[in-house]
Copies of this chain bind each other. A is one copy, B any other.
Amino acid sequence: MSTPAIVALLTDFGTEDGYVAAMKGRLLTGAPAARLVDISHEVEPYNIRQAAFCLNNCYRYFPEGSIFVVVVDPGVGTSRRGLLIKSQGYFFIGPDNGVFSLMLESGKGELFEILMDSFAAPVSSTFHGRDVFAPLAGLVACGADYFRHLQPAEGVVSFVNPPQITGENEISAEVIHVDHFGNAILNIRKEHIGEISATRPRLRLGKTEVSGVHRTFGEVEKGRFLMCWDSSGYLQLACNLGNAAHELRINVGDKIRLWR
């Protein structure tokens, strides 16, 4: 007997209103043996990019066949599509608004549009997470026929945000995420930094200059800034035992110049 399917949930709902729990209830009603995993319900309300980043940080570590339900959905009830995407051995269910952008950079996806009207009425106009995405995930988790709720689709709302080469020795990066510890994650991966310097990129913010890429926080003194590769392969600006974003007043969307 195989292990029951894993359904992992990522929302911007918070937990205190019972909205997440309503989704969990629907899921368990449809798929009594499914195993629910909370990714997070603390994504900032409507913050699609944060959801995309969070999903990208974790999905690849789950067992094959895991189902991800992502409900950060400012356009619920409008004409935005709902999607089921098969990619890299996983199932992804959620709105077509960019939440799957980063995940789709790592592998091709087979896209399906969810036929909203195929679900039993009443479908709330404000809560597709409970009335569409959770029941669909339940069907997938059960191995039931979920294809009758889908039609093949093409194209997906996506944001990609590569760094800009601004000179022979210079690159303009953007802060794409500030994490719980105040690490500022840049849109720079190893393949980009090669264009500047394999060994010694530099960065300046106000009077603070940071140079080189360290292996880990503890290689610099407490309170000092450093650059290192984050656990998903992005370059991050950090502060050993401190909060870099707070101390350097860095926000998501800020541009930072790197050069050698």
Contacts and interface: CB of A to CB of B under 8 A. Distances in A.
Interface of A: 3, 6, 8, 10, 12-26, 28-29, 32-33, 36-46, 50, 53-63, 66, 74-78, 124-127, 130-131, 177, 179-181, 215-219, 228-231, 241, 243
Contacts of A10: 21
Contact of A25 (B20, B53, B58, B229): B58
A77 B130 contact: no
6 contacts: A20-B40, A25-B62, A26-B61, A29-B61, A29-B63, A77-B219
A188 to B, nearest CB: 16
Q: How many copies does the complex hold?
A: 3
Given A25-B59, A180-B13, A218 B77 contact: yes
Contact of A228 (B6, B26, B126, B231): B126
Contacts of A15: 38-42
A88 to B, nearest CB: 13
Contacts of A219: 77
A76 B240 CA distance: 10
Contacts of A33: 3
A45 B179 CA distance: 11
A59 B25 CA distance: 7
Nearest to A46: B241
